[in-house]
Amino acid sequence: MSQPALPPLRTIAVDDEPLALGLVVSFIQKTPFLELVGKFGSAVEALKYLHEHPGAVDLAFLDIQMQELNGLELARVLGPTGPRVIFTTAFSQYALEGYRVDALDYLVKPFNYEEFLRAAGKARAYAELTAQHSTAPATSPEEDEYLFLKAEYQLVRVALNDILYVEGLKDYVKVHLKSTPRALLSLMSLKAMEEKLPPRRFMRIHRSFIVALDKIEAVRRLTVQIGAITIPVGDQYKDAFLQFLSRWT
């Protein structure tokens, strides 16, 4: 059975430059899957509206360089429970910071409607995937065959069987896959990633590594071999790993 069509994404535009704000507003209004519910000349005005109307906005196009409160600061205040964010700015050096606040995309001014539509399409795809995930029959982690990761300004579906191992890098995880030599980089802790993975198929063997148990090719002196990679077993995880190994041999 096909999923019902999603309603338009309730969208706001925030920019302290009237011409830039007018352009984003016009782009929103000509996009069928977006519905303009507010336009604001400052982040403070937008924040007041969002506090007075919780849950009423799905997507926000935010300028970064604004007086009093800039777009990055607003995104941090709203946090993960706020609307999804697409930044619009003339300064490309903020791209990494935009990724850290979980932005869906980052448009560098001046941008045209085609570029706007591509970014808005990511928001629609994110909403569709989220809706599918929330309406799917409830299953235990053991029954899931894939998970969703936020990577490169989009929500990516990753098959569990494709994961070789996960590497923790401070606030990020690097997910190494069988299907491609290019790892996925996602803004989350290794502990949060560990909680997403079914424990019968994945094990944390080091403070910086989670491995797919069925991808282990060899074990030597408390190291595991996955392809050309050798991963050590940390002291903290040694007992659990040896217990697993006793069942494996």
User: DSSP letter string over 113-162?
Assistant: HHHHHHHHHHHHHHHHHHHHHHHSPP--TTT--EEEEEETTEEEEEEGGG
- Mean pLDDT (whole number) for 84-97: 72
Global pTM reads 0.59
Q: Return the pLDDT at 101.
A: 60
**pLDDT confidence bin for 58, thresholds 50/70/90:** very high
pLDDT per residue over 17-48, tens digit each? 999 999 999 999 999 999 999 999 999 999 99
Report the DSSP beta bridge partners of residue 22: none
**pLDDT confidence bin for 181, thresholds 50/70/90:** confident
DSSP conformational letter for 231: E
Please name each of the domains of the chain with its CATH number. Answer: 9-134 (3.40.50.2300), 146-248 (2.40.50.1020)
Q: What Å distances lie between residue 208 and 83, 84, 150, 216, 222, CA to CA?
A: 32, 29, 19, 17, 15
Asked if pLDDT for residue 140 goes beyond 50, the answer is no
CB 86 within 8 A of CB 105: yes
Q: pLDDT higher for 102 or 70? A: 70
**pLDDT confidence bin for 2, thresholds 50/70/90:** very low
Lowest mean pLDDT among 135-144, 145-154, 162-171: 135-144
Ranges of beta strands (E only) in the chain are 9-14, 34-40, 59-63, 84-89, 105-108, 146-151, 154-159, 163-169, 172-177, 184-187, 202-206, 209-212, 218-219, 223-226, 229-232
Give residue 19's identity as a one-letter amino acid code: L
| Edge-first strand listing for the sheet containing 154-159 | 154-159, 146-151, 184-187, 172-177, 163-169, 209-212, 202-206
Q: Return the pLDDT at 142.
A: 43
Contacts of 246 (CB under 8 A, 6+ apart): none
**pLDDT confidence bin for 155, thresholds 50/70/90:** confident
Residues 53 and 112: their CA atoms lie apart, in Å, by: 30
CB 65 within 8 A of CB 94: no
DSSP strand pairing (229-232 vs 223-226): antiparallel
Pair of tokens at residue 124:
């629609």
- Mean pLDDT (whole number) for 64-77: 87
CB 9 within 8 A of CB 56: no
Query: What are the backbone angles phi and psi of residue 68, rounded to the nearest 5°?
Result: 65, -65
Half-sphere exposure (CA, 13 Å, Cβ side) for 91?
13
Q: What is the mean pLDDT of the chain?
A: 85
Q: Return the pLDDT at 190.
A: 92
**pLDDT confidence bin for 245, thresholds 50/70/90:** confident
Asked if pLDDT for residue 136 goes beyond 70, the answer is no
